[in-house]
Amino acid sequence: MFAATRVAVRPAVAPLSDIIVHGRDMGTLNGSTLTMVEIHTFVHHFTPTFYCDLKARNMATLKEIQQRLKSVQNIEKITKSMKMIASTKVAKSQRAMEAARAFGVSSQALFESAETKVADDAKTLFVTASSDRGLCGGIHSSVSKFTRRALEENPSAELVILGDKPKAQLQRSFPKNIRLTFNQIGKDIPTFAEASAIVDAIKRAEIEYDDAKVVYNRFNSVISYEAVSIPVFSEEAIKNSPKFASYEMEDDVLGDLQEFNFANSIYWALVEGHAAEMSAKRTAMENATKNAGEMIQKLTLSYNRGRQAQITNDLIDIITGASAL
């Protein structure tokens, strides 16, 4: 009777943290001294719903944290593997880039010596070179932004897109400018045969232009790249160059030279863009792995704290139950 009277004047719900145990027989609740029998009676008879709900919520939270922790650990394994794969491809792509760059620079030196230029009102064709793959930072957005700015300055220019990623970004803004698109780009190091096939498709589509600009990501370092363009001139523009007459060349060879230069420029852009993409992918996967590791540490700490709180509550339950007996 006394125990019931003493407990009845207490609040209907009280946190377990307010219970302070003094030895086996005495304790305090909200500053009042009670016997362990009274504390046990209060916990199990006056707040059963609150106590059970607290344990249920704690267990559910721990299970959710554990599931999320396992998910993040799996993501970390994937990003770490992708980083290792990209690291092995970087060196190979850089060697191919150096070879393609040597041919591309030589072709550009020819037209610089011939002082090849086009008129201000010339018809321009933009060729945006990228790939189909994602998870590589801002590689595709870089060339898309460069192309978007160029088309805003020259709205009548036509557009050829290499890769599904820049296509998805550019077709929303300039759907009427797009003449051709190509996919299955960037699975491996591009070849000159692929670049030649692209030029043949452009020629069969009868796209007319005075000059073309191949937009790509120039590889500066393993952590740096920038979007630039390579100029490509039409056969008529090459023929009208002021100093091109110094090169003794037959007229029937001029068309082959122009096609070769176009294919060579696209090959250069694809290979150098591929090297920049592999470097950006390695950096992106390295950052993703680092972020996943930090999240794992935070989730592990939260799980351990929740588990410790659950164990503490269970121990209080056992002690109070044993004292009541």
Whole-angstrom distance between the N-terminal and C-terminal Cα of the chain?
17
**pLDDT recorded at residue 253:** 83
- CA angle, residues 144, 201, 134, in degrees to nearest 5: 35
Label residue 2 by pLDDT band (50, 70, 90): very low
208 domain residue, yes or no = yes
User: Percentages helix, strand, coil for the chain, rounded to the nearest 5?
Assistant: 65, 15, 20
Residue 23 predicted with pLDDT over 80: no
DSSP 156: T
Query: What total number of domains does the chain contain?
Result: 1
Look over the chain and give the mean of its residue pLDDT values, rounded to a whole number: 81
144 domain residue, yes or no = yes
**CB-based contact 54:41 (threshold 8 Å):** no
204 domain residue, yes or no = yes
- CA angle, residues 195, 198, 204, in degrees to nearest 5: 145
78 domain residue, yes or no = no
Q: Which segment of 70-74, 133-137, 174-178 scores lowest on mean pLDDT?
A: 133-137
12 domain residue, yes or no = no
Domain that holds residue 166: 93-289
Measured between alpha carbons, how far is 250 from 204 in angstroms, rounded to an integer? 24
Label residue 237 by pLDDT band (50, 70, 90): confident
Which CATH number belongs to the domain containing residue 119 in this structure?
3.40.1380.10
300 domain residue, yes or no = no
Label residue 20 by pLDDT band (50, 70, 90): very low
* Tokens of residue 80, six digits: 């770490």
Query: Phi and psi for 232 in degrees, rounded to 5?
Result: -130, 130
Nearest Cα neighbor of 118 from 160, 148, 154 is 154
Query: Phi and psi for 158 in degrees, rounded to 5?
Result: -100, 165
For range 212-236, the mean pLDDT: 92
74 domain residue, yes or no = no
Does this model's pTM top 0.75? My answer is: no
Residue 276 predicted with pLDDT over 90: yes
77 domain residue, yes or no = no
DSSP string, 40-83: HHIIIIISHHHHHHHHHHHHHHHHHHHHHHHHHHHHHHHHHHHH
Residue 72 or 16, more confident: 72
Q: Give the largest Cα separation in the chain, rounded.
A: 119
* Tokens of residue 136, six digits: 């590589």
For range 109-124, the mean pLDDT: 85
